[in-house]
Structure 1
Amino acid sequence: MSAAKIIYPEQFGHQDAEPTGWFTVVELADLRLPGLPADKRSLQRRAADERWMERRALDGELLSRKRPGRGGPVEFHVALLPVAARQELVRRGFCSDAMAAAEEASETEQLWQWFGAQPDKVKNEAKSRLEAVSAVLLMTETLQVGKNAAVRAVADKNGISPATLWSWIKAVGTADRKDWLPLLAPKRKGGGKVAEIPEELWQLYKSDWLRLSAPPAAASYDVVRRRAKTLGIAVPHIKAFQRRVAREIDPYVVILMRQGATALERHVPSIRRTVDDIDVMEWVNIDGHVFDVEVEHPDTGKPIRPTLVGIQDIRSSKILAWRVGVSESVATVRLVFADLIRDWGIPKDIILDNGRGFAAKWLTGGALTRYRFKIKPEDPQGLLVALGVNIHWATPFHGQSKPIERAWGDLCNYIAKSAELDGAYTGNSPVNKPENRGTRAIDWDEFCALVDREIREHNAREGRTGRDYAGRSFDQVFAEGLARTIVTKPSRQQLRDALLAVERKRGDAQSGEIRLLGNRYWSLECREIAGKYVTVRFDPDDLHTEVHVYNDSGAYLFTAPVLEDHGFKDQAGATVVSKRRSHVRKMARQYAEAADLVDPAEIARIKSGVRAAPEPELPAPAAVRIHPSRQSVAAVAAPEPAPPSARARNRLFAALGKPRLVE
């Protein structure tokens, strides 16, 4: 047999890299080191028998790791290898002396680490074995009983064979008595040889099984079985695939590929926030909740599911303001904010959902972090920006970002499922609907009164636990905090702005009238904004009164009343328009008279008396150049024709009947 070929770093791909002291099973097999098997299978069995995957260094670090990179194999540190193998690696230049001298945890420490990772069943069995061995030791050392007799007596008492007890005594050997427990623990191993799975079948199985559809293992195995039948190769048992999944694929990868990123986030500890560093009315959050209840529409009477919009103080969890609306509209949200600043004041910070109702320009126009609708530099300031409230956007589809979500869950139990709404509750999902759903619809005013009563009861309910509630209610916590907090109250102008919606409009180029939501608004002052953009504030609940007009800097300009429409046969409408025009003409004439304008005849007389300016002299150029015309250039360039000969002239004269010339 020829000598084994020795491999050096330059043949192993290490010539350009620093030695790391980490090797895979395949690399160790190729190196053919002394004291180690020279084939991959034998090395894998050696690593399993000696528990290379579990052994640690003195600092507690594992001596095995995944090689960096996608799908990298497992590699082992040189400290796991026999001394002869380490010395050979140093001689060939694969690792340094320091790497080879790295000490792993002692055998005893590794044994106790292994024992700590075992289930209670193994630990309890180890304890029973220790009691039996200790009983034998007690009889032989203290009672001076022969060892064979002691073993037979203890074996009979515990219902085991003497041979078994002798094997336990042999297991502890001469080890220190404090280490007997892990030595006596049963070390059962699996069924031996690992089934070999063809790589193509393994790739097919894990690709099919790691899908968001989350097919069962049997279905993915059936795909593999059909492919193996086509290829004409044997396929291992389904358990072999499942064991390889557990052995090679990270559990986080399984969750991500079969359940999605949102499910993976649930397996990571979430942040736990404290409110000890904030005061009441410092941070609030707002959100909407659609009730699973059928309520009669206030206008049409048709059954709908109403929406509750509420603002909660984060420090005390008290719901400070709320409104029930047909939907989560901007108007409803605006009124809730108006109630908040009117009753309690202006908060410093607010957490908003990124819904269309909360991110509308009426509320958050001009905010730097507003990522809804088209943002224009000339957009008017929204209510929150004008009041100086710091806006924070909640993470989309993440209920933990809004503490008020917890309150909605409580109110669902006390409102939607209350006895007063029995028969109107629709259930919170298609598979969770009560049998009597849709049998009645609640009156709108009756439902709003129930919501008001239950929210006040929610705030006043005592016995709250968690945080620093200590059995107090949300009202009590809020009142105590408010007594030591400075709250900013709005002015009358700010309160009026809160109750009014805002839009940016352009006055008509000729009349200056403002067109808003199908209505027209005009006053004499509109002549100042003809063709210009202005900010218009109005009450969306009453569009048939007036609007308030502001310039770009926010200064108040004037109020413009609505222009009413009139029927085609309505004579009164024509009279109104005629009077309006007459008033404008009269006012314009008065302005013209007050301007004390000069009469046109006087202007003509003044112009005639003014001495006329003399006729200006034409300046002379320094030199004149005659530009040649096209004909003159041709005449100069063309050569002068030669005169006709005497013979030619005689032929011409003969043709004309004239006498010939004498040559």
Structure 2
Amino acid sequence: MRSWYSAQELAGLPGLPGTARNVKAMAAREHWEGQARLGSKAIEYAFAVLPKITQEALIAASITEEKSRTVVVSKSEIVKCDTILASRLSEDQRSVMTARLAFVREIERMSQAISQQRAIDSLVALAKSEQLSPYLTDRVQRANDRKTGDRSLSERTLKRWLADYRKEGEIGLAPARRQKDMSIPVWAASFLACYQRPTKPSVEAAYSEFALKHPAERPSIHVVRRFLNKLSAEVRERGRRTPQELKALQPFKRRSTKSLFPCDVFTADGHKFDAEVLNPRTGKPYRPEVTTVLDVATRKAVGISIGEAESTIGVMDALRDAMFYGMFAMFYVDNGSGFANDTVREVVDRLGGTMTHALPYNSQARGLIERSHQTIWVNAAKKLTSYIGADMDKHAGTKVHRIGRKELRETGRTRLIPTFSEFMAGVEYEIETYNNSPHRGLNKFRDPLTGKLRHMSPNEAWAAACAEGWEPIIAPSELLNDLSRPQVIRPTRRGEITWAGETYFLDALRSFHGEEIRMAYDVRDASRVWVRTLEGDLIGEALVDGNASDYMPKAMLEKAYEKRESGQMKRAVDKLETLTGKRVEMIAPTTAPSAQLSAEQLAEAQRFAQLAAPQVPTFELPSDPTARYRLWNQLDARLTSGESLNPEETQWHSRYPQHPDFMSIRQMFEFAKQASA
């Protein structure tokens, strides 16, 4: 068969005009796909665009031409062809063919001394008298390939086997078998439309719906089941599973990491912990979000971060821990909001690495980090009584939930839900245990203690790479801290910068009034920011409320928590108002112990607490600048004499010399002292 035909070759065929000119006119009218024939001006037309009746005529002509062609094939080629065809036989067909071939070979050996007819008669007589050799006796029944009781040899059968062998080789001895009918019935599409749904209906439910919609073409349910059994699992489950779940039934490619060195590729992902922990801020149960950074070559967990949800702050926190082990070349992550953002991308670019995102709905490509969640965090969660995973017993989980909430309401604490400090201690233990446990994805070596072969642990794989001469690229801590600080462009006014609801002050910014500067902030410390010019030159550190008398900064994490709580409460109120149709107001509850006291008991407890509480002197700052300067001298004298200051006094004493009033008043006092002298 050819794929292209000229108008001269097509003229006169069924479905086409009788002349080449009319064929060209028809091709131009119906816009057939054509190309110029090499070495000629003739136009060839594709086989696919021809009418169906013309295609059938061309196929029939090619078959007739193939049958009439005489081909001379050597004996070696025949044997090779038989081997290829025999390899396509089933095991049942191959066993029958081998048994029949044993009798053919036996006749050929006997024919060297006697005639072929006498050899056949001798075999038949020996079979009837049960005097065949044990080898041939075992193959009589299999060679006959019958289901009846009579399975002896006959002259006619042996001659037929000889004729088939001499005509077609050993493949001619194989019995024919009925192949499965893989044709698609006419009702298949209608039934599959009822069966292949995400709700995963049973065969009976889908058949009932199909029978109501198509009563005329309804087969029996047994025919439907046999049809479904013929389909592959992938075809049968298409439509019943999402494309992501369907990949569990499809072939895949394994990624080898043997050619990688440590720090070549870091991969990271977030995981919602499958157990409840007491929130350190609210005291209420919640499920922490754990962000893990894994080194692909050694499977070592190099960085973790704990938060309430996957966020840029959590990713930056985990990435900072990971970079203390070495600078990475590639950062392989998913498309989550915590990774696919400009802040993380800027830090990766400044470090000289490359961030690569996996394809959507393709979590199988990041199997290393997904499996680490099961190994580390799911197993850790199952050690806690507050585990709420899918395989947790329903009644036991409900009982733990009810008892834990009751203890929290009555006493403010519970023995069933771990505190955050207990959880963090467990996190450190699990990470250390994982990094020191053998990993089946790593190479094997002989244990120096036991002398047995086993897989390396992540720490051992890391040490082995270092022993081979690999060295990590470690950046200075100052540079590392600077690079891991996100940067934003902010305007400055009169030495102040506003960011995240806080005001930062730096006296050196007076020269940049009204201009934009580059500001870097630390996700763990909101008391200061680092100010640079747009060209990147460092100006200095701006302190929160640096030009105010006192302040109480909030960390970036606390700001994120408050924003999250506010959004959750607003959404809860909106949902209640939608359900009830009435206005709902949120009232902050009192603490659990005091909520159980009566009004008289509460008043008495408050009065006793006021009497018992030690009277701590408060630090009051004078409003007069001169009095503030004298107060600073008093505090300085106390420090010089070795006396300790409280935190408020220490903080104000260290910051007040940066205030403009300090220098002017000091100069005034020094001038007065010189004048009196």
Report what 1:552 is aligned to: 534
Question: Residue 124 in 1 paired to residue 95 in 2?
Answer: yes
Structure 2's unaligned 5+ residue stretches are: 1-9, 18-22, 33-43, 142-148, 405-415, 446-453, 552-618, 629-655, 668-677
Q: Deviations over 1:49-77 (max 9, x none)?
A: xxxxxxxxxxxxxxxxxxxxxxxxxx967
Alpha-carbon distance in structure 2 between the residues aligned to 1:236 and 1:166 = 47
Report what 1:526 is aligned to: 509
Report what 1:480 is aligned to: 464
Report what 1:409 is aligned to: 374
Out of 359, 362, 385, the position equivalent to 1:395 is: 359
Overall identity of the aligned pairs, in %: 19
Q: Deviations over 1:464-521 (max 9, x none)?
A: 564466633221221232342343332343133256443332224xx35222222212
Report what 2:264 is aligned to: 282
Report what 1:514 is aligned to: 497
Q: Deviations over 1:592-638 (max 9, x none)?
A: xxxxxxxxxxxxxxxxxxxxxxxxxxxxxxxxxxxxxxxxxxxxxxx
Question: Residue 427 in 1 paired to residue 392 in 2?
Answer: no
The residue matched to 2:509 in structure 1 has which SS?
helix
One-letter identity of the residue aligned with 1:12: G
Alpha-carbon distance in structure 2 between the residues aligned to 1:506 and 1:125 = 89
Alpha-carbon distance in structure 2 between the residues aligned to 1:515 and 1:251 = 59
Question: Residue 351 in 1 paired to residue 316 in 2?
Answer: no
Instruction: State TM-score, norm by structure 1.
Output: 0.60
Q: Deviations over 1:96-119 (max 9, x none)?
A: xxxx78999999877765553343
- Is the helix fraction higher in 1 or 2? 2
Report what 1:471 is aligned to: 455
Structure 1's unaligned 5+ residue stretches are: 1-6, 32-74, 88-99, 366-382, 591-663
Report what 2:577 is aligned to: none
Report what 2:190 is aligned to: 204
Report what 2:276 is aligned to: 294
Report what 2:291 is aligned to: 309
Out of 142, 150, 165, the position equivalent to 1:161 is: 150
The residue matched to 1:278 in structure 2 has which SS?
coil
- The alignment of Structure 1 onto Structure 2 pairs a total of residues equal to 491
- CA 1:575–1:498 in 2, change beyond 3 Å: closer, same or farther? farther
**Contact kept in structure 2, 1:534 and 1:552, CA below 8 Å:** yes
One-letter identity of the residue aligned with 2:349: V
Alpha-carbon distance in structure 2 between the residues aligned to 1:557 and 1:299 = 36
Which structure's CA Rg is the greater one?
A: 1
**Contact kept in structure 2, 1:172 and 1:184, CA below 8 Å:** yes
- CA 1:345–1:204 in 2, change beyond 3 Å: closer, same or farther? closer
CA-CA distance at 1:292 after TM superposition: 0.9
Out of 254, 270, 273, the position equivalent to 2:255 is: 273
Alpha-carbon distance in structure 2 between the residues aligned to 1:178 and 1:211 = 53
- CA 1:163–1:325 in 2, change beyond 3 Å: closer, same or farther? same
Alpha-carbon distance in structure 1 between the residues aligned to 2:206 and 2:104 = 50
The residue matched to 2:481 in structure 1 has which SS?
helix
Alpha-carbon distance in structure 2 between the residues aligned to 1:565 and 1:430 = 55
**Contact kept in structure 1, 2:96 and 2:174, CA below 8 Å:** yes
Alpha-carbon distance in structure 2 between the residues aligned to 1:323 and 1:500 = 16
One-letter identity of the residue aligned with 1:399: S
CA-CA distance at 1:460 after TM superposition: 1.8
Report what 1:445 is aligned to: 421
Report what 1:598 is aligned to: none
- CA 1:223–1:9 in 2, change beyond 3 Å: closer, same or farther? farther
One-letter identity of the residue aligned with 2:512: I
One-letter identity of the residue aligned with 2:190: L
Instruction: State TM-score, norm by structure 2.
Output: 0.59
One-letter identity of the residue aligned with 1:393: H
Alpha-carbon distance in structure 2 between the residues aligned to 1:462 and 1:226 = 59
CA-CA distance at 1:303 after TM superposition: 1.5
One-letter identity of the residue aligned with 1:451: V
Q: Which moved more, 1:436-445 or 1:291-300?
A: 436-445
Out of 445, 455, 477, the position equivalent to 2:431 is: 455
**Contact kept in structure 1, 2:333 and 2:358, CA below 8 Å:** yes
**Contact kept in structure 2, 1:256 and 1:263, CA below 8 Å:** no
Alpha-carbon distance in structure 2 between the residues aligned to 1:126 and 1:269 = 34
Report what 1:624 is aligned to: none
- CA 1:357–1:20 in 2, change beyond 3 Å: closer, same or farther? closer
Question: Residue 172 in 1 paired to residue 161 in 2?
Answer: yes
**Contact kept in structure 2, 1:547 and 1:560, CA below 8 Å:** yes
Alignment of 1:475-624 (within 5 A): 475-483=459-467, 484-498=469-483, 500-508=485-493, 511-543=494-526, 545-563=527-545, 564=548, 583=660
User: Pairwise CA RMSD of aligned residues?
Assistant: 5.0
**Contact kept in structure 1, 2:289 and 2:308, CA below 8 Å:** yes
